[in-house]
Amino acid sequence: MSVLNTENKKHHTQANAFLDEGLGFQRYDILKYKQFDKLTEKQLGFFWQPQEVDVSKDSSDFKKLTEHEQHIFTSNLKRQILLDSVQGRSPNLALLPITTLPELETWIETWAFSETIHSRSYTHIIRNIYSNPSIVFDSLLDNKEIVECADDISKYYDDLIEYQQWYQLLGEGTHTVNGKKITVDKRELKKKIWMCLNSVNVLEGIRFYVSFACSWAFAELKKMEGNAKIIKFIARDENIHLASTQYLLTKVLVKEDPEFAEIAKECESDIIQMFVDAVEQEKQWAQYLFKDGSMIGLNAELLNNYIEWICCKRMTALGLKCPYTTTQANPLPWTQKWISGAEVQVAPQETEISSYILGGVKKDVSEDTFKGFSL
């Protein structure tokens, strides 16, 4: 395997997304899948930094929360840290070595980079709210509910990473590794890709939303508004990531490779169960959050209905039948304003620090703008 395959004579628009000939030079004038390039441009256009959001008021707000409200806030923060720790590094490790389209390669790198911003934002929140950040970080792995959720996600990544390494190093066939016989099969590798991408789709589309709803519920009460604004930025990014996994699963892999279409049918019941398991974990998480009391406008039952509603939307997008009976309307309609819309409007005096707006671009520049200006 080489970082630049100079032997690859196949035109890149004829290559498959994964497991084709190694990548040659990068070009973006002619693309097989323009959608990945659009996703990259959209993600880059949404570039933000945690320091752009002022969370100083959140520190005083946190001290005024009841004990069980502090439990809800801190527990959600811990969970988001661990989940994004997995997601911040895994796409590059698992998918890049087997990616064979330049536009998909660039999208995966951009996607993973945005996840690291999410992780940095949690540290930004913790530094400003807790006098001793170690209290949060050092107790992350003490919560079995959080660890179990992270394990459920990472196992699909781990399986794919290990298997694709065998495939790259050993090739197909039966081999002995550390005294153990292993069989490497390209179709089995495709199955692991399929299961991993579905797991990521569930992560991006479902597993954060109980935590998101709690953050926004605090802001609806005029509490922890800086944190809620950061979570809105994160949710906006996650919607882009979700679009990419849905596109890969429905428009790319099954259309360009008949084996992926076969695997999709074979694994359909497993994927449905993956959604159900994620929903049940989210419900258990809601119960854990509200074990000592609810908060105004939100409780475990409402979150259960909300997560079932979201699950049905995500499953429908993949052409899967949802096992839950839900209404058409969002059970938590007030969350829609936090999720919808590409632009995030923030009053400068509230939660945005203007001196940190590094990515702003003025779009009304004309040919006459700099007339008469000289250095």
For the annotated catalytic residues, the residue numbers are: 122
Q: Which residue has the tokens 């800086």?
A: 226
Give buried/exposed letters for 4-26 (b at 16+ CB in 10 A, else e).
eeeebeeebeebbbbbbebbbee
Q: Is 49 exposed, middle or buried (0-12, 13-18, 19+ CB in 10 A)?
A: middle
CB-side neighbour CA atoms (13 Å) of 248: 28
Going by the DSSP 8-state scheme, the letter that residue 335 receives in this structure is G
Say which amino acid occupies 52. Answer: E
Helix (H) or strand (E) holding 373: none
240, 252, 273, 267 alpha-carbon torsion, rounded to 10°: -160
Angle at 91 between CA 85 and CA 94, to 5 degrees: 115
Tokens encoding 109: 């790198």
Distance of alpha carbon 182 from alpha carbon 163, whole angstroms: 10
Whether 56 and 128 have beta carbons less than 8 Å apart is answered as yes
Helix (H) or strand (E) holding 305: helix 300-317
SS3 of the chain: helix, strand, coil, percent, to 5: 65, 5, 30
Closest CA relative to residue 315, chosen from 358, 351, 268: 268
Whether 194 and 25 have beta carbons less than 8 Å apart is answered as no
Whether 211 and 217 have beta carbons less than 8 Å apart is answered as no
CB-side neighbour CA atoms (13 Å) of 256: 18
